[in-house]
Amino acid sequence: MAPAQPIAVGITDSPASNAALLWAAARANRLTCPLAVVNVVDDRWMAAEVLPYLEVLRESGLALLKEAGEKATAAEPGLHVTLQLLEGGVGAALGDYSKEASMLVLGTSGKTRGALTDRALQAAAAAECPVAVIGDGQDAGRGILVGVDGSREATQAVAFAAAEADALGEELTVLYAFTGPNRWIAAGLPQSSFATHVMEEEQIVLAETEAGLRQDYPDLTVHSVMETVLEPADALVRAAAGARLLVLGSRGKGGFERLFLGSTAHAVLSQPPCPTVITRMHKQPHSD
């Protein structure tokens, strides 16, 4: 049997990073997998004359890793912890390291604009595994919320969220946020308009999603919600306030393939209301 892939947590010296470390350690302990604590030294701007300063940054990073490792093992005795110092741009370095991880965990300040939030967004966009973004001061809530829109990415997010809810004994809420036409436009549309047809299709997608979950997880309590007024990101942030976990796909329906992080996921990660996981599509092998 191949060894379990580690959960990787990227750390800095911020309070949110400490929250991410403890969240990742608890998850790794629950899943009986290793925890890899990672710090990135950004050396891209280093000129030859400041190389001695780079060594200072490395030493500081190693000290930070050692302290974080001790915190993780103190919080979760018996947890296998490894320490890794990386160099380069934060997003690229963590994205590359994510190839070896089952999940990448990051802290965020929760501020729409801020260095920590920007780093989390960069890493989330570059990662090749699910990414969990944890804010400082997010109290442990109840229930798991997943956003759906009928896309392949959303289907995978639902599968992840359902498995989490089942394992944790939490209720699952499936939220479909669909913004209809502008009310002035809608006023001029006939009752049997295209917009009405689309709304009916979205309701079918939501009903089919719930039915599939009840078949796969007969003991799981599932709630379905359709939001037609708020924008998807706003609806998810509001609904997830006080939740234990929010789960989203990396891109929604209509998202461009070249974008690693869709607009809804980007907006939610800029102000995560609770621990938030962005899932990734599994790469399918090419058929001959």
Farthest-apart Cα atoms in the chain, separation: 72
Residues 218-242: what's their mean pLDDT? 91
- Identify whether 212 is part of a domain: yes
State the average pLDDT for the chain: 82
What pLDDT was estimated at residue 67? 98
**247 part of a folded domain:** yes
Please report the pLDDT score of residue 281 as a whole number.
Answer: 62
Domain termination residue (choose one: 135, 155, 170):
135
- Of 135, 164, 184, the last residue of a domain is 135
Share of the chain above pLDDT 70, in %: 79
Out of 4-18, 127-141, 202-216, 264-278, pick the least confident: 202-216
Q: Are 131 and 181 members of one domain?
A: no
Report the CATH number at residue 110.
3.40.50.620
Contact yes or no for 137/130 (Cβ under 8 A): no
Which residue, 101, 135, 169, sits at the end of a domain?
135
**287 belongs to a structural domain:** no
The structural domain count of the chain equals 2
